[in-house]
Structures are given as structure tokens and as C-alpha cells.
Amino acid sequence: MKHYKQRGIARALVLSLGLSATVTACGASDADQVPDVVCGTPVSPDLTRPLLPSTEDLTEWSRVDRQEAISAPCTLLSNGDPVLELRFYWSMDAPNMAERSRYDSFFRNVAEWRPIKLGNEAIVGTNGSIVSGPCESGRNKHFTLEMHLPKAKITDYGLRKDIEKFMRAYYPGTLKTLSCQ
């Protein structure tokens, strides 16, 4: 009889340890959640996650004012370090990327870039992307979105596909939030 009691106590102990480990594991994953809205634009976490070197303690810092159409940055930070930078630009004229030199400072945050078909003009690189198109808002006629991954290795050519997928969803989603005319 004593043997059965010890076995029951041992099982209860193992079960309670297993439950506490599960709770701890769930708690850890909750801290690493990727948001479904980044800088005011809804986007699938499945598209954002591959771009982030870390998802620990994600916070957002933004100076973007969509109503005023004022050019500004928005940054996603992990443990206080920038992991995804977005820059929102409104202007009277299109940036005319095709007319610029590949070495123009306009492209400084996008390494190893190539053109893609998105918006009116777009490029995607190994550490970022720039997309531009019409968006009439007050006195401005164009909107340009620049995305930069400050922790990305510029030789990581595999990241280019993930950047392009993200921008193909994020740019049109952002235009919807801007109420372009």
C-alpha cells in the first residue's frame, strides 16, 4: 500500500512540474509576439517575423502623422535596438528612381538592389526596399515608403524574397491607411 502512495505522489509531482514548464514556455513565447500592426499598418506577423533578427521585447517608436502627411520615421525595436525601420515620405514629385545613379544617396539604405513591379517605382535589396506611387494628400502628390533592416547582412541574398513579400503586402496596406485621393 505504501508503494502505491509513493508512486501516486511521484506522478503528481511529475505532472505539476510538467504543467509549470508549460506555463513558463507559454509565458516566454508571449513576450516574443510579433505585432499584426506595424507603424499603423495591418500586416501578417508571418510576413514580418522573417525580417526580424530578434522578436524579444518588441516596441515601436513613431513620429508618423498620417493626417498631416508629414515625412517621418517609424522604428520597430527589439530590446531597445532597431530591427525594422520605416520612413514615410510625402512629396510634390515622384523620386524618379530610374533617372538616378545607382550610387545616389537616395539608395543609401538599400544594398544590392534591383527594380520590382510595385507602385509606380520600386526597388528591393538585401537589407531594405523603397516603393513610391501617387498619393494625393493636401499639397503632396506622391508617397514613398522606405524600409530598412539595420541588422541585416547585405550579403544575405535569401532575405530579399522575404523583404519583397513584406513590401508587397505592407505598401498597399499603408496606402489604405493614408486615405489617398
pLDDT at residue 125 greater than cutoff 70? yes
pLDDT at residue 150 greater than cutoff 50? yes
* Claim to verify: residue 161 and residue 104 sit in the same structural domain: yes
* Claim to verify: residue 42 and residue 23 sit in the same structural domain: no
Q: Which residue has the higher pLDDT, 18 or 124?
A: 124
pLDDT at residue 25 greater than cutoff 50? no
* Claim to verify: residue 93 and residue 48 sit in the same structural domain: yes
pLDDT at residue 19 greater than cutoff 50? no
* Claim to verify: residue 19 and residue 101 sit in the same structural domain: no
* Claim to verify: residue 140 and residue 125 sit in the same structural domain: yes
CA 110 to chain centre: 15
Determine the pLDDT at residue 61.
Answer: 96
pLDDT tens string 129-147: 999 999 988 888 999 999 9
Range(s) of the domain holding residue 3: 1-31
Can you say whether the dihedral through the CA atoms of 104, 109, 111, 115 is positive or negative? negative
Give the chain's mean pLDDT. Answer: 84
* Claim to verify: residue 173 and residue 91 sit in the same structural domain: yes
Q: Is 77 exposed, middle or buried (0-12, 13-18, 19+ CB in 10 A)?
A: middle
* Claim to verify: residue 10 and residue 69 sit in the same structural domain: no
How much of the chain, in percent, has pLDDT values that exceed 90? 64
* Claim to verify: residue 94 and residue 5 sit in the same structural domain: no
pLDDT tens string 30-75: 446 899 999 999 999 999 999 999 999 999 999 998 888 889 999 9
* Claim to verify: residue 56 and residue 136 sit in the same structural domain: yes
* Claim to verify: residue 76 and residue 151 sit in the same structural domain: yes
Count how many domains the chain has.
2
Q: Which residue has the higher pLDDT, 164 or 101?
A: 164
* Claim to verify: residue 21 and residue 39 sit in the same structural domain: no
* Claim to verify: residue 100 and residue 59 sit in the same structural domain: yes
